[in-house]
Amino acid sequence: MTVALVHGNPESSAIWDPLTKALNRHDVVRLSPPGFGAPLPQDFSATYLAYRDWLESELEALSDSDGPIDLVGHDWGGVHVVNLMMHRPELVRSWTTDIIGVFDPDYVWPETAQVWRTPGDGERLVESMLGGTADQRTALWSTALPPDIARSIALAQGPEMGRATLLLYRSVEGPGAMAETGGGLERARARPGLSLLATEDPYVGSDSIRRRCAQQAGAHTAVLEGLGHWWMTQDPARAAATLTSFWESVAEAR
């Protein structure tokens, strides 16, 4: 059995440090998308479909050697998870995401994402957020994350991540487009799913949107009351307990 964790933008796998410790397992694997703590090949298009295909390749390699996979995605990592579930659900035993609301036609991109999607403005914002020195980036991220994690993420940031960020955000045509391209969220019903609903996360759509999408995908909703976008660092023990309970329910149902 393997637990595979996929992080988002503009992050590195350090975001999972507290959760990995709280899970206290020896079968946890972190998958870093190209450009986000992993090299960005020149010929990698960094579209959301390219990241879906990348994740499929990573899971194919894992399933060949490590058995069934429980897949967990955060932020854009959670988007990659859902896109994979609409395309190759047989690669996993179960899936979890904290951002299923972005697949709803009524989802509205947060302000920062809208700037990234705008030519010119997006480049300037990337330079402001991902440029400068590692110390400056650490100070910026320390307002939201523990200092050690902020430092690790800052060290992973730079021009490659900026390029990947802009290409990724600009590859999505509009609200609901990814679900339509994937053939509908109902395709994710092929495997047990979990939608983590952190009540204080301002980036992932309203509660009603998230619940509606989870229902379409056949996913259970677990409410993380009082937690925000980085729930895995805010209360890793509660997050680990929520995930473990879900995985145990999947095992019992088999």
Neighbours of 238 (CB within 10 A): 16
Q: Which residues pair with 97 in a beta bridge?
A: 73, 195
Taking 80 as the threshold, does the pLDDT of residue 254 lie above it? no
pLDDT of residue 250: 95
Kindly list the structural domains of the chain, giving each domain's residue range(s) and its CATH number in brackets, ordered by start: 2-108+175-253 (3.40.50.1820)
- Exposure letters 23-58 (e unless 16+ CB within 10 A, then b): beeeebbbbbbbbbbbebeeebebebbbbbbbbbeb
| Cβ atoms of residues 88 and 221 within 8 Å | no
Give percent of the chain with pLDDT exceeding 70: 99
Tell me which residue of 218, 207, 227, 204 sits closest to 103, measured CA to CA: 204
Whether this model's pTM surpasses 0.85: yes
10-49 tens-digit pLDDT: 999 999 999 999 999 999 999 999 999 999 999 999 999 9
Tell me which residue of 227, 218, 216, 222 sits closest to 245, measured CA to CA: 222
- For residue 67, name the pLDDT band (cuts at 50, 70, 90): confident
Taking 80 as the threshold, does the pLDDT of residue 65 lie above it? no
| 75, two tokens | 């932020």
Task: Give the chain's radius of gyration (CA, Å).
Answer: 17
Tell me which residue of 9, 55, 49, 11 sits closest to 29, measured CA to CA: 55
| 115, two tokens | 């700037």
Q: Which residues pair with 69 in a beta bridge?
A: 2
Taking 80 as the threshold, does the pLDDT of residue 66 lie above it? no
| Helix spans in the chain (H) | 17-23, 48-66, 76-85, 111-116, 121-130, 134-141, 147-156, 159-170, 177-181, 207-216, 231-234, 236-253
Taking 90 as the threshold, does the pLDDT of residue 127 lie above it? yes
Taking 90 as the threshold, does the pLDDT of residue 174 lie above it? no
Residue 10, preceding peptide bond in cis (omega within 30° of 0): yes
196-206 tens-digit pLDDT: 999 999 999 99
Rounded Cα distance, 80 and 83, in Å: 5
pLDDT of residue 252: 85
What number of CA atoms fall less than 13 Å from residue 5's CA on the CB side?
20
